[in-house]
Amino acid sequence: MTHYFAAIPVPFKLVQEKLTSCSLHYDLPTHYKVIPHPDDLHVTVLFFGGLTHPQLELVKQEMQKLAERTHAFTIAINGISFFGNPIGPRVVYLAVSNPSSLTGVYRELSKRLETVLQKPAALDYTPHVTIAKKKKNTNAVPIIQEQFEPLTLDVSGLILYSIDPAASPKYSPEFIFPFINSSRIDG
């Protein structure tokens, strides 16, 4: 069964300098199994997991309804952080400031899809752009949280992605849901 998620694409050009410097500084490819393909960079809004065809159709309907009521907005990528132990975190990411617009999209979509996905909406949401995950070994790789000059990203819609773990890039845009007042969205 194919797995899906809703996300905001992040252009490689926008984060290339920060991603490269972080990767070199911490030697991420040596310590992590998964370094995302440049075309796979995104901010996940909601992970759906495996969906049946009827579930997929309902997800698309709800994403369309949400997009038709959501105005385009801006987010900022503004730091380096991690999930897990700071000595060797399981995920290293570029931090995203959490404006109310992004949190609102997350909350509304998760609430609307609780019944379809048969799981309650999570209370916490940490928007981020994963740059490394799945440690290769138990060696210490101390990651220091840091802030940098914000990189702004205009969010003009949501994309429903499918996942193919064997492919590179792994994520394929299946459907694009433009927000109100958006000129375009890249997939």
List the catalytic residues: 42, 128
Closest to 17 (Cα-Cα) out of 6, 25, 8: 25
Sign of the alpha-carbon dihedral angle for 85, 88, 91, 92: positive
Q: Which residues fall within 8 angstroms of residue 25, CB to CB, at 6 or more apart?
A: none
- Contact of 135 with 31, CB cutoff 8 Å: yes
Q: The tokens 């759906």 sit on which residue?
A: 48
> What secondary structure does DSSP assign to 108-129, as a single string?
HHHHHTHHHHTSPPPS----EE
- Alpha-carbon distances of 140 from 23, 32, 130, rounded to whole Å: 15, 12, 19
Nearest-angstrom CA–CA distance, 21 and 151: 15
